[in-house]
Amino acid sequence: MKVKEVSQLTGVSVRTLHHYDDIGLLTPDCTTEAGYRLYSDDNLATLQQILFFRELGFSLKKIGELLTSPAFSRQEAFEMQRNMLLEKRKQLDSMINTIEKTIQHGKGELVMTNEEKFKGFDFGENPYEQEARERWGDKAVDESNKKAAQFGPDLEKEMNRIYFNLASLRHLSPNSDEAQVAIGQWFEFLNKMGNYSLEAFRGLGEMYVADERFTKNIDKFGEGLAVFMRDAMAVYVE
């Protein structure tokens, strides 16, 4: 789909699409050789996400952070957004209530304090952001780091813990959330003592299967773990 079609479908302006592309929030999957932006269905789904978050008052910057967070899951996000929308409706109800009272107040049928007159406006500290940050924000990553670090200077123990954890998940899909979180921990762990690029990380996964010495050592934690890890690592890199 070209910009105008997307614009008409979603109600956002073409300029907005350009803008989102400029700031890297929504880069179309494809372009014609003339430079025309072409949006895929997946791009549309992302745009929908963006609009939901925007409606809930998130800044574009924060939306970008959320969308690119490794812990981000679309389904999870949708369910959360639903809750947020319900919250917002409650707020709206509160405002409606306030205004109805105000109308009566104007007719002299009711007395109102100043505070009551502004009930429902307290937009100030919305709990939405908080929840989102906890779920997908930097804090989540930091916390897990902290926990991992608490295992002490004994790196081998920590390593084993991660392997163990992964082994317990190896019957799941390599791209399941749990698997990806676990493999993320593995990636962080490796980066504590060296600098693994994502590409190197993927290569490592390949080696787990290709090299028998690795395979055997890894599969000690559970049959098929090496293969599982390779797949999960490949997914993680993406």
Applying CB under 8 A, the residues found at the interface with its own copies are: 9-11, 41, 44-45, 48, 51-52, 55, 74-75, 78-79, 81-82, 85-86, 88-89, 92-93, 95-96, 99-100, 102-103, 106-107, 114-115, 117-118, 121-124
Please identify which residue in the block is written with the tokens 């490949």.
234
Out of DNA, its own copies, none, what residue 139 binds, judged by CB under 5 to 8 A for its kind, is none
The reply on whether position 66 binds DNA by CB under 7 A is: no
Structure tokens that stand for 117 in this block? 């007159």
The reply on whether position 157 binds DNA by CB under 7 A is: no
Out of DNA, its own copies, none, what residue 36 binds, judged by CB under 5 to 8 A for its kind, is DNA
Kind plus residue range of the DSSP H or E element containing 31: strand 30-31
Quickly list DSSP for 32-99. Answer: -TT--EE--HHHHHHHHHHHHHHHTT--HHHHHHHHH-TT--HHHHHHHHHHHHHHHHHHHHHHHHHH
Please tell me the total number of residues recorded for the chain in this structure: 238
The span from the CA of 109 to the CA of 107, in Å, is 5
The span from the CA of 213 to the CA of 72, in Å, is 35
Strands 37-38 and 30-31: antiparallel
Return the number of the residue (23 or 210) whose C-beta is nearest DNA.
23
The reply on whether position 170 binds DNA by CB under 7 A is: no
Return the number of the residue (93 or 142) whose C-beta is nearest its own copies.
93
The reply on whether position 133 binds DNA by CB under 7 A is: no
Return the number of the residue (38 or 207) whose C-beta is nearest DNA.
38
Amino acid at 23: I
Taking CB under 7 A as the criterion, the residue among 9, 13, 78, 139 binding DNA is 13
The span from the CA of 181 to the CA of 193, in Å, is 20
Out of its own copies, DNA, none, what residue 74 binds, judged by CB under 5 to 8 A for its kind, is its own copies
Out of DNA, its own copies, none, what residue 95 binds, judged by CB under 5 to 8 A for its kind, is its own copies
- Region of 120 on the Ramachandran plot (φ > 0 left; ψ -120 to 50 alpha; else beta): left
* Choices 18-26, 127-135, 156-164, 176-184; region in contact with DNA by CB under 7 A: 18-26
Out of its own copies, DNA, none, what residue 35 binds, judged by CB under 5 to 8 A for its kind, is DNA
Per the CB < 8 A criterion, the answer to whether 8 and 43 are in contact is no
- Interaction site with DNA (CB under 7 A): 2-5, 13-16, 18-19, 21, 31-37, 54, 59-61
